[in-house]
Amino acid sequence: MPLVIHSRYQPPFYLFNGHLQTIVPSLLRTVPEVHYERERVETEDGDFLDLDWSRPTDRTTDTLCIVSHGLEGDAGRPYVRGMVRALNRAGFDALAWNYRSCSGEMNRLLRSYHLGDTDDLDFVVRYALGTTRYRRVYLTGFSAGGNVTLKYLGEQPERVPQEVQRAAVFSVPTDLKSSSMHISRLENRLYLNRFLKSLRKKMREKAMLLPDQVDLNGLDELLDFPQFDDRYTAPMHGFKSAEEYYEHASSGRYLSGIRIPTLLVNAQNDPFLPPSCFPRDSASRSAFVFLETPQEGGHVGFGEGTPDGEYYSEHRAVEFLTAKVPG
């Protein structure tokens, strides 16, 4: 039943298509009000994660929201900082965590992160609860981080601590195989090339760290996600192929397992998302997954007003997380 039929999002007049709604917030937005306190934590497998906390000093709260960034992003991206600012204004502490290799320093192990890696999110959730400061935890995520969040909530719902009570995610590629092909279309090559440039750079850094484990031959000849994932992402994380990785990691197959109120907002003009990433049937059968599909918004966009103002994704997340009756 939870299909949100009418979305209130309307873009400003100067963001008149999905590409502008995607690019302008990424390039022009700044959120200087957010100040992080970084903490490095050691993982059980001998690696580390860098956590960026935003805990306003003028009050204490028993509520934390954990924010998961997108592919090749980090806690410093404007969309993450904007969400953190909105959460702080709503009275919550916020924890924006950086995936392995995404905090400015290469991680130690051959493995890095991938779009279905829920173990690290579970580690972060339990680490935060281990501080004993929080009785209530919310989750938010963007794009890749939204996929990880949905998969975490749905694949083993009994694993999710009871303190985790709601989630709100945006611009999520719930079908990784189709979205990996969709972003390879000619009109999306600008985005694809930017991602591949960053991923290639990291593979070279990884090869310097672990020269006997990383083969760079042909790296520059990998021209799309399926090729890169088949060569590197899949084998580095225990998958036989990109096909197996996409099948295992796509959050769409786990939506029926979600047992807490969860908002998924995917814009219909998102240049990254094909039709299979709008799981209307799954949401209509779920009592917990609320699917909102505004006509506009782009990918991790949803800008409103001036570039440094609060965005729709931010006040919509706060609204959903704090509502007496979700929807």
pLDDT digits 0-9 by tens, 146-185:
999 999 999 999 999 999 999 999 999 999 999 999 999 9
Q: Is the pLDDT of residue 280 over 80?
A: yes
Q: Is 3 helix (H, G, I), strand (E, B) or coil?
A: strand
142 against 6, higher pLDDT: 142
Confidence check: pLDDT of 68 > 70: yes
Host H or E run for residue 140: strand 136-142
Q: What is the pLDDT of residues 220-243, one digit of tens each?
A: 999 999 999 999 999 999 999 999
Closest to 180 in 3D by CA, of 192, 197, 171, 168: 192
Instruction: Report CA-CA distances (Å) from 254 to 11, 18, 116, 128, 175.
Output: 31, 28, 11, 24, 11
Asked whether the beta carbons of 172 and 146 are under 8 A apart, the reply is yes
Half-sphere exposure of 287 (CA within 13 A, CB side): 2
> In what helix (H) or strand (E) does residue 289 lie, and over which residues does it extend?
strand 289-292
Pairing mode, if any, of strands 63-68 and 93-98? Answer: parallel
The pLDDT assigned to 307 comes to: 64
Evaluate if residue 61 carries a pLDDT over 70.
yes
**pLDDT-derived band at 306, boundaries 50, 70, 90:** low
| Burial (CB count within 10 angstroms: exposed 0-12, middle 13-18, buried 19+), residue 155 | middle
Domains and CATH numbers, the chain: 3-178+252-322 (3.40.50.1820)
